[in-house]
Amino acid sequence: MKSIILSLFLFSIPACQTTPNQVQELKTEQLDVKGQTSTGGKIAINEKRQVIIVQEDSVTDDLAVQDLINTQLMDRVLREHWSLKQCRTSLSDTRLGGSGDLQPMPDVASVLKPRDVQEEMGVDENGDLKIVRKEFLNHRLAAMKSNTKTMEKMISTLTPMVEECERRLGNARLDHGLPSERFVAQGYFTAGGTWVETRHAEHSLSDGYEISAENGKKHK
């Protein structure tokens, strides 16, 4: 494949002291492009004859992608945290041999790095009262990427805790007259496609004993 010479802008390190958060000038480096990655990055040889991969993204795209990643991670953190709380609540129930006290839950809010936002309130040129919020873009990106790592670590901690709790809860349920798994909803679809529920799902331990008792009556 014929090589392509590409002029690429890269961040330069200024020799003199600059204002914090100031946009830096970029310099041009000659790259001999040899190929492309699946994500659009360029595989090239730089001026020092080193093979490198260069990925160029707009700041807007990078911010949007990072925001999406963090939103999905937070959703998963909250789901795992909710599952753990539900499990520990059931496991602590005295009807399953628990003490009645809920085991302390991991904190999932205060560990995230807050954004450094400046707020100003005033009247604009049209006489409208406005609140203006400002923050440095590089600070937001740094905080978001830090929170990504924090949430990934949190998920890797919560997931095995949920699995272990569910294992213990299953054994406790069996020891106290319930199936190891929670009761699921039962029903059927009509010819028109409407779902008719004949038994509701178990949402609490009380539900579990109620459904179990109803099942016992049906089999008498």
pLDDT tens per residue across span 182-206? 999 999 999 999 999 999 999 999 9
pTM of the full predicted structure? Answer: 0.73
Answer yes or no: are the C-beta atoms of 115 and 139 closer than 8 Å: yes
pLDDT tens per residue across span 42-80? 888 888 888 888 887 788 888 999 999 999 999 999 999
pLDDT at 220: 60
Instruction: List all residues 6 or more positions away from 211 whose beta carbon is below 8 Å from its beta carbon.
Output: 183, 199, 200, 202
Q: DSSP code of 201?
A: P
Q: DSSP code of 187?
A: E
Structure tokens at 206: 């009380």
Task: Considering only CA atoms, give the Rg of the chain.
Answer: 28
Chain-centre distance for alpha carbon 214: 40
Structure tokens at 47: 């001026």
Answer yes or no: are the C-beta atoms of 59 and 137 closer than 8 Å: yes
pLDDT tens per residue across span 86-110? 999 999 999 999 999 999 999 887 7
